[in-house]
Amino acid sequence: MQQNVKTPPTFLCPSTTSIGPDARVFGELTGSPAAGFEVGYLTEALPATPAFLAAAAPAEPTELFWAAAPCVERCCKHFDGTNCRLAARITAILDRAVSALPRCAIRPVCRCFHQEGRAACLRSPQITTEQRNPSDLDSAVAG
């Protein structure tokens, strides 16, 4: 008799700081620290190829692009063995940035959405992965 064993899905971390060959770019930040950033969501997640990432120069790719990579779970300082504490802090500390779910190419496999649901998505447009001079609020959320 064959057992029907489901393999758990591989969730993507939408706040990866390591844009490597497994990463997918799903958004682009526009604006400035003074005026505020806006996220342009891509209609599909694109492979983070070296040529694509080079388009960010002179900025770092993580300052311009939103990329997701496989969640490394226990190898990440934000993972507590079960949940992502960063996703929990985002929903607990930040106010909603939008009132409707933004279009997102990674939502079906996003660790934050899987864990926190709509609450994470309604706050995500204000999240940046890398900041040169983070505010106290940004530092508290980042942990």
pLDDT number for residue 111: 96
DSSP summary character for residue 129:
S
DSSP characters for 51-75?
HHHHTTTTS-HHHHEEEEEE--GGG
Question: In this structure, is residue 72 part of a structural domain?
Answer: yes
Question: In this structure, is residue 1 part of a structural domain?
Answer: no
Question: In this structure, is residue 5 part of a structural domain?
Answer: no
Question: In this structure, is residue 105 part of a structural domain?
Answer: yes
Expressed as residue numbers, the domain containing 111 is: 12-142
pLDDT in tens, 20-33: 889 999 998 877 66
Task: Give pTM, 2 decimals.
Answer: 0.81
Question: Is the predicted pLDDT of residue 5 greater than 60, yes or no?
Answer: no
pLDDT in tens, 109-139: 999 999 999 999 999 888 776 666 666 766 6
Question: In this structure, is residue 83 part of a structural domain?
Answer: yes
Question: In this structure, is residue 3 part of a structural domain?
Answer: no
For the chain, the domain total comes to 1
- The residues, ordered by sequence, that sit 6+ positions from 136 with a Cβ below 8 Å of its Cβ are none
Question: In this structure, is residue 81 part of a structural domain?
Answer: yes
pLDDT in tens, 96-112: 989 999 999 999 999 99
Question: In this structure, is residue 4 part of a structural domain?
Answer: no
Q: Quick check: 72 and 126 in contact, CB under 8 A?
A: no
